[in-house]
Amino acid sequence: MTQVPCSASELRTLFLFEKLADDQLAWLCERGHVELMQTGPVYTEGDPAECFYVLVEGAVVMSARVGADDVEVLRTDQRGVYAGAWHAYLGDRVPQRYKNSLRVTEPSRFFVLGAKDVAAMMREWFPMALHLLEGLFFGMQSTQQVVGQRERLLALGSLSAGLTHELNNPAAAAVRATAALRERVAGMRHKLGMIASGPYERPELESLIRLQEEAVERVAKAPSLTPMEATDREDALGDWLDEREVGDAWDIAPIFVQAGFDIDWLEHVAASVPPSVLGGALRWLTYTVESEMLMREIEDSTARISSLVTAAKQYSQMDRAPYQTVDIHELLDSTLIMLGRKIGDDVDIRRDYDRSLPPIPAYAAELNQVWTNLIDNAVSAMDRRGVLTMRTFADHDSLIVEIGDTGPGIPAEIQGRIFEPFFTTKAVGEGTGLGLDISWRIVVKKHHGDLRVESVPGDTRFQVRLPFVAPREVTLPG
């Protein structure tokens, strides 16, 4: 680092100092200095915040520590951006440490002012503004904590109830199937004992084992039938079993239909074993296919539980860096899964995704909060009955996520107010009026995108515009 002369006239060209008087600019040059820095670090997150930096010329990158990684947050080459000890005026009421790391990517010049001088300048030059800033800072900090916590708790309660319900269904199905499977296995053991002591010769036993394997294969390839088709096939199989005096024919027929058996295959079974053991062979196959179908039900149920847990982790972004490159479709789908119970069965979800879109840099968990707010509003507007459309597409240098509904629409006279905090059209107790405000701040302030709405009766569309590349910033928060 090399100190170079400070020019008051050059400082005046920076937007931060352009309104200062001559004596104030002279004071800055007297107390501060200009440094020429080569490529490399300027300061490191967590170190004591000793200096306030204003970029005179050059280019900088700001990063924040996430676990063991440094994640790039901002990049800019605009003159006048500032960073460092700009909270010095708050004194020891807040930790006076750098909240991020700053480095230069090319030789750059900074105006540098010590933290104590920053605090003195604020107290002496702007006493009223200092009180206003202090009140604003601590007031906003308190409000954001309360509001953010309230919104998170509301969302968490709703999502937890939905997730519990969604997990309970496959878990209960797995428990039922396991109990039924235990009965079928006991029946198979009993039937196996009868076969072992019965009049079966070795070739007949080999035929039974071969038929058992074929039956399992047919279960895996069983076609999906309409209720009418299933009923017709049950009647046909029941008549076939009755004609051959197979006991419990009308209890066995539905199981065989579900397993994918037809008359031709039953004829194949009849041709493979002597008529005297046909009934026993068919009941043995009944136990086999029932056991196979129950195992598949358990497999499907546990797979559903696993997918729900995966969706919950994707939604919450557990064990992942806050700022990362993400596939936007994974975020949208995980949110839809988490909101599945709240959306209900009467909402038709239509996905129109452009799967060729590349991953984008984003705060994934916070974008999931945006999707949650927009989908929840859409479903509520439709009174949980209608069409919810999820669409993604590219528009120049941005990725667009469009969430549409077929509800009554947003009246034109209030469309300009819906992103205001605490503005809501819901009944008292049904909404905080903060969902769209928080969504707007996440999209616009944090991701430097855009959030807008187009609405007519029967067609409301919220469009979230996100940049494909993290943009350069005008100001750097400290």
pLDDT tens, per residue, the chain with 478 residues: 678 889 999 999 998 888 889 999 999 999 999 999 999 999 998 899 899 999 999 999 988 775 556 677 788 898 999 888 877 767 777 778 888 899 999 999 999 999 999 888 887 776 665 545 555 455 555 544 544 555 554 555 555 555 665 666 677 777 777 777 777 777 666 666 666 666 666 676 777 778 888 888 888 888 888 888 889 888 998 899 888 888 888 888 888 888 888 888 888 888 888 887 788 788 878 888 888 888 878 877 777 776 666 666 666 555 556 778 899 999 999 888 878 878 888 999 999 999 999 999 988 888 988 998 899 889 989 988 999 999 999 998 899 999 999 999 998 888 878 877 656 655 544 544 567 888 888 888 888 889 999 999 999 999 999 999 875 543 333 3
Angle of helix 364-381 versus helix 328-338 axis, rounded to 10:
50
User: Rounded CA gap, 8 and 21, in Å?
Assistant: 10
Predicted confidence at residue 364, as pLDDT, reads 86
DSSP 370: H
User: Rounded CA gap, 104 and 101, in Å?
Assistant: 10
Single-letter residue type at 161: A
Q: Is 2-125 a CATH 2.60.120.10 domain?
A: yes
Alpha helices in 198-248 (DSSP H): 202-220, 227-243
CA terminus-to-terminus distance, the chain: 21
For the record, the structure tokens of 269 come out as: 């079974």
User: Are residues 342 and 377 in contact, defined by beta-carbon separation less than 8 angstroms?
Assistant: no
Cβ atoms within 10 Å of 330's Cβ, excluding its own: 14
Cβ atoms within 10 Å of 402's Cβ, excluding its own: 17
User: Are residues 399 and 360 in contact, defined by beta-carbon separation less than 8 angstroms?
Assistant: yes
User: Are residues 109 and 35 in contact, defined by beta-carbon separation less than 8 angstroms?
Assistant: yes
Q: Please give the radius of gyration of the chain, using alpha carbons only, rounded to the nearest integer.
A: 34
Q: Sheet harboring 33-37: ordered strands across?
A: 2-4, 33-37, 108-114, 51-57, 82-84
pTM, full prediction: 0.47
Predicted confidence at residue 477, as pLDDT, reads 37
Is the alpha carbon torsion for 364, 369, 372, 375 positive or negative? negative
CATH fold of 320-467: Heat Shock Protein 90 (3.30.565)
Single-letter residue type at 35: E
Name residue, tokens 């460092």. 84
Nearest alpha carbon to residue 442 among 384, 375, 358, 372: 372
Predicted confidence at residue 209, as pLDDT, reads 78
Q: String of b and e for 170-208 (b: at least 16 CB within 10 Å)?
A: beebbeebeebbeebeebbeebeeebeeeebeeebeebb
User: Rounded CA gap, 268 and 259, in Å?
Assistant: 15
User: Rounded CA gap, 83 and 162, in Å?
Assistant: 43
Phi/psi for 67 (5° steps) reads 65, -125
Angle of helix 263-272 versus helix 202-220 axis, rounded to 10:
160
DSSP 413: G
Predicted confidence at residue 392, as pLDDT, reads 97
The ranges assigned to domains in the chain are 2-125, 165-307, 320-467
